[in-house]
Structure 1
Amino acid sequence: MAQTATNLTTGATLREEKVSGPWQDAWRAFRKNKIAMAGLIMMVLFIALALLAPVLAPYDYKAQELTDRLKPPSSAHWFGTDDLGRDILSRILYGARISLWVGTFSVVGSIVIGTLLGILAGYYGKWVDMLISRLFDILLAFPSILLAIAIVAILGPSLQNALYAIAIVNVPTYGRLVRAKVLSLKNEEYITAAKAIGMKNSGILLRHILPNSLTPIIVQGTLGIASAIIEAAALGFLGLGAQPPAPEWGKMLSDSRQFIATAPWTVIFPGISIMLTVLAFNLMGDGLRDALDPRMKN
């Protein structure tokens, strides 16, 4: 009986070891970080509010009631109204869609292009590395927001062009990150073994290099969404992003800045929305870095 119990215990332990893996370990470490979990909950909440905006918004975000212009927060309008009598709460809910959409897809574009260029530069080296690295240096020579403004000014003010601009200016961040990771990986023994058995470069890149480069990309991408939301708000504030009547948070701040003294709620609530969304992604990104980076583990 004792032997049977020992075998059962050993078998259970082996099954647990098989189930456990690096991603499971990272998730367990992430869950222990209360601040990171708070960021995750806030992020999920904002995503839910954005998806359910048509259901939750008490008014049409475009509806104008000039008789109700600049009304303070009340039971009828929880966040008050703007200078055109539009419900601010409804516009913030729909604005969450715009900010999250721009932030997410601009970062996805940056990651795709930056990862491709970074892998090519790091793996092939020589003139390929020199050419791509100099391209990164040129893009990094300009302040990101000024470069984004220049790109939008050339393409024309619109939400889509703002997304393109934010994606372009952030490509070097991911490209350099991936390049550095590839340089440390390509001389590993398993890469040498893959070359020795005749595996093609494309197979090595897709099956070995890329999967082992995902950790820093995920962490930086999460933090990058927060930066992209701020950049989109900045472009909207300057009138280069979403155009009226789109309820983009930065544009809402720009339209209401002249009412800061007389109707402060018109800038407080969009500003708090930007702050909380960016804070959520930053907290979650810090937690992911702590969970995924082996140097952060005791």
Structure 2
Amino acid sequence: MLPELKEKLPEIKQEPQVESPFQESWRAMRKNKIALVGMTIIIFFVTIALLADVIAPHGINDQAFENRLESPSAKHWFGTDDFGRDILSRVIYGARISLWVGFFSVLGSIIVGTTLGILAGYFGRWVDTIISRLFDILLAFPSILLAIAIVAVLGPSLQNALIAIAVINIPTFGRLVRSKVLSLKEEEFILAAKSQGMGHSRIIVHHIFPNSIAPIIVQGTLSIGTAIIEAAALGFLGLGAAPPDPEWGMMLADAKTYMQQAPWTMIFPGLAIMLTVLGFNLMGDGLRDALDPRMKS
């Protein structure tokens, strides 16, 4: 009996292992070289933001007027500003502020926008009408002007700039989720759940929301880059972080007077903004390709 079993064993083939959606998406991301470049840029800036206290060569507010507007050198790699402060150290600490504002403003937009979008798309009728008109009102204003108006009402500060950026991005996520829910609620598995007597809250939590996560993740990644630019714009106008915080937009505002005399005071904060936003855009495009079923072969 045993020899017969041994002869049959080699003929038994193992079933191919089924990948989870996360594993499948990660495998697609690894094949996308551009997305990996974006992820590397993001990891770099997140790392320097977390380790700013360790890697910054000088204090962000250490002033040395004898070194005022000094060009890049071995002592000050990025040069110094008009107060003799080390620009490299301020750019490193500025990453902490910009990423903090970008992440939490988008997180707030996702929470509020997703909630309103699900309610509008799922329940429809007067609920959809009220929420959609609210989105239309917010979208009727240019985003940066609306952010300026909100900060002007609340008062200039980094926290109020974060709130303003979160508010202006709510319609983006709300309309995205609403359109997704409108198509989902007509699917057979949703109709089957309703026919079995499942309540609205359970359908939303267990079926609607999980199937809406992919576009939210993609849009959220892209929106962080946009939020960083908006935070820098508010900082440039003096409506964001207060001096002497090393916020990138405010550093550009302080440097505009010395653009010809000391261009490095503007170049390095500008490059930091550009590279960070580029990283989130590249990674967002990669996530879209990995998570969108239409993009998969």
Bin the TM-score by the shorter chain: over 0.9
Q: Deviations over 1:160-212 (max 9, x none)?
A: 00000000000000000000000000111111111111111001000000000
The aligned residue for residue 29 of structure 1 is 28
CA–CA distance in structure 2, aligned partners of residues 277 and 5 of structure 1:
54
The secondary structure found in structure 2 opposite 1:262 is: coil
The aligned residue for residue 132 of structure 1 is 131
The aligned residue for residue 148 of structure 1 is 147
The secondary structure found in structure 1 opposite 2:273 is: helix
The aligned residue for residue 203 of structure 1 is 202
| More off after superposition, 288-297 vs 268-277 | 288-297
The aligned residue for residue 184 of structure 2 is 185
Pairwise mapping of residues 72-151 of structure 1 onto structure 2 (< 5 A)?
Answer: 72-151=71-150
In the TM superposition, residue 62 of structure 1 has moved relative to its aligned partner by 1.1
In the TM superposition, residue 224 of structure 1 has moved relative to its aligned partner by 0.2
In the TM superposition, residue 2 of structure 1 has moved relative to its aligned partner by 5.2
Q: How many residues align?
A: 292
The aligned residue for residue 228 of structure 1 is 227
Letter of the structure 2 residue corresponding to residue 5 of structure 1: P
* Aligned pair partner of 2:8 in 3, 8, 21: 3
The secondary structure found in structure 1 opposite 2:261 is: coil
CA–CA distance in structure 1, aligned partners of residues 234 and 29 of structure 2:
33
Letter of the structure 1 residue corresponding to residue 9 of structure 2: T
TM-score (norm 2): 0.97
- Find out whether 1:271 has 2:270 as its counterpart: yes
In the TM superposition, residue 66 of structure 1 has moved relative to its aligned partner by 1.1
The secondary structure found in structure 2 opposite 1:193 is: helix
Q: Deviations over 1:19-45 (max 9, x none)?
A: x02221111111000010010011011
CA–CA distance in structure 2, aligned partners of residues 56 and 292 of structure 1:
36
CA 1:71–1:187: 2 relative to 1, 3 Å: same
Which aligned runs of 4 or more in structure 1 are off by greater than 6 angstroms? none
The aligned residue for residue 219 of structure 1 is 218
* Structure 2 unpaired stretches of 5+: 1-5
Taking every aligned residue pair, what percent have the same amino acid on both sides?
67
CA 1:2–1:70: 2 relative to 1, 3 Å: farther
The aligned residue for residue 256 of structure 1 is 255
Letter of the structure 2 residue corresponding to residue 290 of structure 1: D
Q: Deviations over 1:103-144 (max 9, x none)?
A: 000000000000000000000000000000000000000000
Letter of the structure 2 residue corresponding to residue 167 of structure 1: A
RMSD (CA atoms): 0.8
CA–CA distance in structure 1, aligned partners of residues 202 and 173 of structure 2:
22
